[in-house]
A and B are shown apart, each in its own frame.
Chain A
């Protein structure tokens, strides 16, 4: 039942990863702009009781991040000021700057009432509890009445 979390994308992603690993071996080092089309990069880990989401968004003001969970769609919006210094001459400009908007589909039992977010060393960590009903339950077999 939790397998609906971007099953197809995850499979596709694995293929990219494999390809990338092979390229790493050929070229020695991977470029840093690997996921620039989907900034910021995200990790989602689903355990029995909760969902942990990590995003790499260094150098943002956490007050200016907008985090919403509507049904099971988690959305993080924000803006990075990187690479916008005035009156200077850039010789290298690789860091992402500007607005970003990332939406992640979570398992359907994500509880939008129980969400916590923390920002530390440029990593945004969001914890979402899963609704009780989703946890596996032990079902006792009752003896027939009257025996």
Chain B
């Protein structure tokens, strides 16, 4: 009886994330197990980047015994980040593989490392 109620429930969770920087930009990785591409939404509004993905944990009917550490029903992974003005928000590249979201955000042209050519005299 209580199971049906639980299955319809929506849980909001903050996904674990790694953020690292190299010379040309930053990479953000977030764990979103169970999220497929169709159920993932990424938005950029001014300097704010938001990620929102949902995962449905289905369970067989007529469960006799259950041991549960994962919320049943819909888990919504939501999180937002403030982006540094050095970053070029128009060039965000996103990929989702095996429940891990990877976002690559390059630095704006003027912040990219440049090689200075030395002219021969």
Interface of A with B (CB < 8 Å)? Answer: 2-3, 5-6, 9-10, 13, 29-33, 35, 38, 41-48, 50, 52, 54, 56-60, 82-83, 85, 87-96, 104, 107, 119, 121-123
| A-B Cβ contacts below 8 A, count | 140
Show 12 A/B contacts (Cβ-Cβ < 8 Å), sorted by A.
Answer: A41-B70, A43-B69, A45-B59, A47-B61, A58-B31, A58-B100, A59-B99, A83-B18, A90-B18, A107-B65, A119-B98, A122-B98
The verdict on B68 contacting chain A, using a C-beta distance below 8 Å, is yes
* B22, B29, B64: the one within 8 Å of A95 (CB): B29
Q: How far is the CA of A31 from the CA of B32 in the complex (A)?
A: 14
Spell out B's residues near A (CB within 8 Å): 12-22, 26-27, 29-36, 55, 57, 59-70, 72, 97-100
Residues in chain A near residue B31, CB distance under 8 A: 32, 58-59, 82, 95-96, 122
State the Cβ distance, A45 to closest chain B Cβ, in Å: 5
Are B35 and A121 in contact, CB atoms less than 8 angstroms apart?
A: yes
The CA of A1 and the CA of B48, in the complex, are separated in Å by 54
Is there contact, CB below 8 Å, between B22 and A122?
no
Q: Which of A2, A52, A123 lies at the interface centre, i.e. has the most chain B CB atoms within 10 A of its CB?
A: A123
List A contacts of B26 (CB < 8 A): 91
Closest chain B residue to A62 by CB distance?
B98
Known pairs A43-B70, A47-B62, A83-B18 / 8 extra A-B pairs, C-beta < 8 Å: A3-B65, A6-B67, A42-B70, A46-B66, A87-B22, A90-B19, A95-B17, A121-B98
Q: Among B55, B57, B72, B98, find the residue whose CB has the most chain A CB atoms closer than 10 A.
A: B98
Q: Is the interface of A mostly helix, strand, loop or mixed?
A: loop
Report the separation of the CA atoms of residues A22 and B91 in the bound assembly, to the nearest whole angstrom: 41
* Residues on A with beta carbons closer than 8 Å to the beta carbon of B18: 82-83, 90, 92-95
B57 lies within 8 A of A122 (CB): no
B14 with A32: CB separation less than 8 A: yes
Given contacts A10-B67, A94-B16, contact A54 B57 (CB under 8 A): yes
The 8 Å CB contact of B20, one of A9, A10, A90, A122, is A90
Contact B99 A121 (CB under 8 A): yes
